[in-house]
């Protein structure tokens, strides 16, 4: 059974640049969509570039723990 999603915990591991590359107005909005199964981690392009490898790995663990869509 998946545990209740903590949006803030997801947000902590997102880039928090509000770049809008995912199509959302902010990283918080993306975290909410991710938690509602309306978005996938792959939609956050900055997570797959630069210095976000550790954050991406933590998010992948959380996604599995929460039972969310990975891709």
Answer yes or no: is 2 within a domain.
no
More confidently predicted of 1 and 8: 8
Round to whole Å and give the CA distance between 45 and 57.
14
Q: Does residue 26 fall inside a structural domain?
A: yes
| pTM (2 d.p.) | 0.88
Print the domain residue range for 38: 7-66
Per-residue H/E/C for 6-49: CHHHHHHHCCCCCCCCCCCCCHHHHHHHHHCCCCCHHHCHHHHC
Task: Dig out the tokens for 18 from the structure.
Answer: 């509000």
How many domains, the chain?
1
Structure confidence by residue, pLDDT tens digits, 31-50: 999 999 899 999 999 999 88
**Residue 42: inside a domain, yes or no?**
yes
Buried b vs exposed e over 15-44: b needs ≥16 C-beta within 10 Å?
Answer: beeeeeebebebbbbbbbbbbeeebebebb
Q: Residue 31 belongs to a domain with what CATH number?
A: 1.10.15.40
pLDDT for 2 equals: 53
């Amino acid at each position: 059974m998946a545990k209740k999603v903590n949006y803030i915990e997801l947000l902590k591991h997102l880039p928090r640049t509000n770049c809008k590359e995912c199509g959302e107005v902010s990283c918080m909005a993306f975290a909410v969509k991710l938690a509602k199964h309306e978005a996938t981690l792959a939609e956050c392009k900055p997570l797959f570039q630069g210095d976000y490898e550790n954050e991406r790995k933590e998010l992948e663990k959380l996604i599995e723990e929460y039972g969310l869509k990975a891709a």
